[in-house]
Amino acid sequence: MLDHLSAGPAAIRTHFGAIFVSLDMGRSKWIVTSLSPETGERMSQHTIPAGDVGGLLALFADLRHRAKARSGLDYPVVTIQEAGLDGFWLHRVLEQEGIESHVVDAASIATPRRRRRAKTDKIDGEALLRALLAFKRGEPRVCAMVVVPSLEEEDRRRLCRERQTLLAERGAHTNRIKGLLFAQGVFDYEPIRRDRRKRLDDLRTGNGRPLPPHLRTQIKRELDRLELLLDQIKAVEVEQQALLASQVSRSEPDTSAANVVAMLLAIKGIGTQAAAVLWVEGLCRTFANRRQVASYAGLAATPWRSGAVVHEQGLSKAGNPRLRTLMVQLAWLWLRHQPQSELAKWFRARGERGRKGLIVALVRKLLVALWKYVAHGITIEGAVMKPAV
């Protein structure tokens, strides 16, 4: 990244083979911080309206024109932005324009630990730019760059995530209806049953009176919204099953997605929904070792070891929360459906004491075992497979 070394006493190298740019993307404006060759250590800051891609590209062209006028060389542009609400659309636009773009996890950038830390757009932009410079210099562990998914991978996740959102909304409406009825002394009404409307007409309060008219009307409106959610959940599940079936039925032998889905569905205790979430949220990625697998799911340990102090702070919980939640549920199901597996025997050998803490260790072991199974074909010891259909 260096065109020639600097002979001056500057604290950092001032002659770069590129124009480095950080993007602080807000809702109303974008703060663009740049560092160009032949400008020493001075960073320039520019402001453009949010979403103005044309203005951003024009700014890049102007920066390249000025750098060429100073040095006579044509420099490329290297950008960095934080992963956030804007997603990856701008990253894809920049790559289509031939601009090297990086997306960084903002939590991985080092910040001052003062009691009162100054925070401005200028400070944030310069911090992003320094992280990009250190990353391009090859400094290890300076920040964590996000692996940007493809359009197909990003769109494939929406079914599982939409279903999870709809289930949460269904629980909210169900609890609201039950809460309204609890206040009237009714405790045996289940809103998700098919005869929910018929049973609503027959309900009586705790003292034997019919439900008040306004309360009945409110519950009926809640049931309308609940039935809409139930229909949407059913439609999403049908789409999800069709997607999994299309992946499994692919004839290409090198299709990793088809192999992953088919291999997961072949294990007893793993159903369609669990296989879908495991595939799209975790096992579709490439990991180098088991530590990366556990870290991605937020199941890595966070020790505190300084001098004579040795303390375990528990799980980092810094990874994918959807994958971690599913794996906790799958670990309890594993003990039920795979009692003769080595993982279940390992769990039972440690007794009943501390089951909640021990289940976390089982979750980590199970996730690593599933990754080895789908990535390297290593069979899980003692696992029972479903009978072939």
Same domain, 338 and 272: yes
> Are 49 and 24 a contacting pair, CB within 8 Å?
no
Among the three residues 248, 271, 298, which one is the final residue of a domain in this structure? 248
**β 19-25/77-82 pair status:** parallel
Q: How confident is the model at residue 248 (pLDDT cuts 50, 70, 90)?
A: low
- The pLDDT assigned to 250 comes to 57
Long-range contacts of the stretch 89-93 (C-beta < 8 A, 24+): 90/23, 90/25, 90/53, 91/148, 92/148, 92/151, 93/53
Same domain, 372 and 262: yes
Long-range contacts of the stretch 240-244 (C-beta < 8 A, 24+): 240/159, 240/160, 240/163, 240/272, 240/273, 240/276, 241/272, 243/156, 243/159, 243/276, 244/272, 244/275, 244/276
Same domain, 127 and 32: yes
> Are 131 and 103 a contacting pair, CB within 8 Å?
no
CA dist 21 and 159 (Å) reads: 35
pLDDT at 256 over 70: no
Same domain, 121 and 171: no
Same domain, 191 and 89: no
Tell me: the pLDDT tens digits for 97-141? 999 999 999 888 988 888 888 889 899 999 999 999 999 888 888
Same domain, 107 and 181: no
pLDDT at 52 over 60: yes
> Are 289 and 261 a contacting pair, CB within 8 Å?
no
The neighbour count for residue 286, using CB atoms within 10 Å, is 9
Same domain, 233 and 276: no
Same domain, 244 and 260: no
The more confidently predicted of residues 94 and 352 is 94
CA dist 306 and 96 (Å) reads: 47
What percent of the chain shows pLDDT beyond 70?
91
pLDDT at 252 over 50: no
> Which residue is listed with tokens 């709809």?
166
pLDDT at 211 over 60: yes
Q: How confident is the model at residue 195 (pLDDT cuts 50, 70, 90)?
A: very high
- The pLDDT assigned to 364 comes to 93
**Is 341 part of any domain?**
yes
The neighbour count for residue 64, using CB atoms within 10 Å, is 17
Q: Which residues of 107-134 are buried (b: 16+ CB within 10 A; e: fewer)?
A: eebeeeeeeeeeeeeeebbbbbbbbbbb
What percent of the chain shows pLDDT beyond 90?
54
**Is 383 part of any domain?**
no
Q: How confident is the model at residue 14 (pLDDT cuts 50, 70, 90)?
A: very low
Same domain, 115 and 23: yes
- The pLDDT assigned to 253 comes to 45
**Is 155 part of any domain?**
yes
The neighbour count for residue 372, using CB atoms within 10 Å, is 15
For residue 219, give its domain range.
151-248
Same domain, 205 and 296: no
Q: How many domains does the chain have?
A: 3
Output the domain CATH number for residue 56.
3.30.420.40
> Are 267 and 278 a contacting pair, CB within 8 Å?
no
**Is 64 part of any domain?**
yes
Q: What is the largest CA-CA distance in the chain?
A: 93
Same domain, 192 and 274: no
Among the three residues 248, 283, 298, which one is the final residue of a domain in this structure? 248
**Cα dist from 203 to 75, 172, 185, 224, whole Å:** 76, 21, 10, 18
**Is 9 part of any domain?**
no
- The pLDDT assigned to 353 comes to 67
Q: What is the pLDDT of the chain when averaged over all its residues? A: 87
> Are 6 and 15 a contacting pair, CB within 8 Å?
yes
Distance from the Cα of residue 328 to its chain's centroid: 17
Tell me: the pLDDT tens digits for 56-100? 999 999 999 998 998 888 999 999 999 988 889 999 999 999 999
**Is 40 part of any domain?**
yes
pLDDT at 1 over 60: no
